[in-house]
Amino acid sequence: DLIIKMDPEMDSQLKIGFIGAGNMAYGIAKGILSGNILAENIQVSAPSVRNLGRFQELGVAVTHSNIEVVCGSDVVFLAVKPHLIPPVLNEIAQHITDRHIVVSVAAGITLATLEELLPENTVTVRLMPNLPCMVQEGALVFARGSHAKEEDGALLRSLLHHCGLVEEGPEAWIDIHTGLSGSGVAFVYLFAEALAEGAVKMGMPSSLAHSIASQTVLGAGRLMRDTGKHPAQLRSEVCTPGGTTIYGLHMLEQGGEHASCPSAWSHSFKTKKTHH
Ligand code: NAD
């Protein structure tokens, strides 16, 4: 395994820079810091002080100069909004050398665009993280640019290891992953919200309903990850014949007009209290 081959000492000497100090930079920085990278080896830049405070709390050096970050880093994360990638690359391009790995997390910005706006032979990587990086439970997929070697990928994997699951694939998977996991998080929240609403409708206090809904999503996710079972298999394991779960699933499958289905479904608990 490439991760095992990484030299942890070399790894801890790496200098990491973030251009952009938003949620994504913060999530990745927190993940990286829970590995063996020291805060003193990380720098972040953003034009406004507003975004920099929480990085200072992590012990990370902050600046308004993107060029300073580039000059002091080996791995540079581009974590600005996608429309700002061209002007930012324009600004930093002349300071990028062959020691740099430029990692863009900007949605929709292709490796071809990055390579076009950076000096020839620049090592580029396109990375798509998601918000749970903040709690070291992210799902990250990256694709290497044409000048990025397998070792560069291995280095990135080892760096991001504490952010969550890190996978490498062809660039086409990045957009797929954006829907699956970047946006997927919001889809899960919509479901969790409906789940909790159903319980509130039936009389449970909202805060308790939300904490149980979050634990349910967490538990269901961990069980799926840890067992490696297909979700349909796990689903069938919860269904007692003639019980409330199969009744509720049937209601969910009845479709879009049942957007508030968990509340409809919770009615089944009233009528079928004796089953799971
Ligand atoms: P954000 O708005 O929270 O952060 C953007 C940061 O960029 C801010 O700190 C801002 O001050 C800074 N900035 C603005 N102009 C700048 C400039 N010229 N130079 C340096 N910094 C500048 O955005 P975010 O949610 O962290 O998203 C950042 C990138 O991450 C986007 O490209 C987005 O597509 C990508 N992304 C976000 C998510 C997510 O869940 N939020 C997931 C995957 C990818």
pLDDT digits 0-9 by tens, 114-156: 999 999 999 999 999 999 998 999 999 999 999 999 999 999 9
Cα of 81 vs centre of ligand 1, distance in Å, is: 4
Residue 273 has pLDDT above 50, yes or no: no
pLDDT in tens, 59-114: 999 999 999 999 999 999 999 999 999 999 999 999 999 999 999 999 999 999 99
Helix (H, G, I), strand (E, B) or coil at 6: coil
Q: Find the angle CA(155)-CA(156)-CA(161) to the nearest 5 degrees.
A: 105
Q: Which ligand 1 atom sits closest to the C-alpha of 107?
A: 34
Residues listed for the chain: 276
What is the mean predicted confidence (pLDDT) over 160-182? 95
Q: Give the bridge partners for 18, in sequence order.
A: 44, 77
Half-sphere CA count of 257, side-chain side, radius 13 A:
1
Cα of 54 vs centre of ligand 1, distance in Å, is: 15
Residue 230 has pLDDT above 90, yes or no: yes
What is the mean predicted confidence (pLDDT) over 12-36? 92
What is the mean predicted confidence (pLDDT) over 147-169? 96
**H-helix or E-strand containing 22?**
none
Q: Is the ipTM beyond the 0.95 threshold?
A: yes
Name the band, by pLDDT with cuts 50, 70 and 90, for residue 210. very high
What is the mean predicted confidence (pLDDT) over 222-246? 94
Residues in the ligand 1 pocket, defined by CB under 6 Å: 19-25, 45-48, 51, 66, 79-82, 84, 88, 105-107, 128-131, 182
Mutation probe of ligand 1 site: the residue of 24, 73, 137 with most atoms within 8 A of C-beta: 24
DSSP at 75: E
Helix (H, G, I), strand (E, B) or coil at 144: strand
Q: Ligand 1: which residue has its CA nearest to atom 7?
A: 20
Rounded to 10 degrees, what is the CA torsion of 232, 234, 235, 238? 160
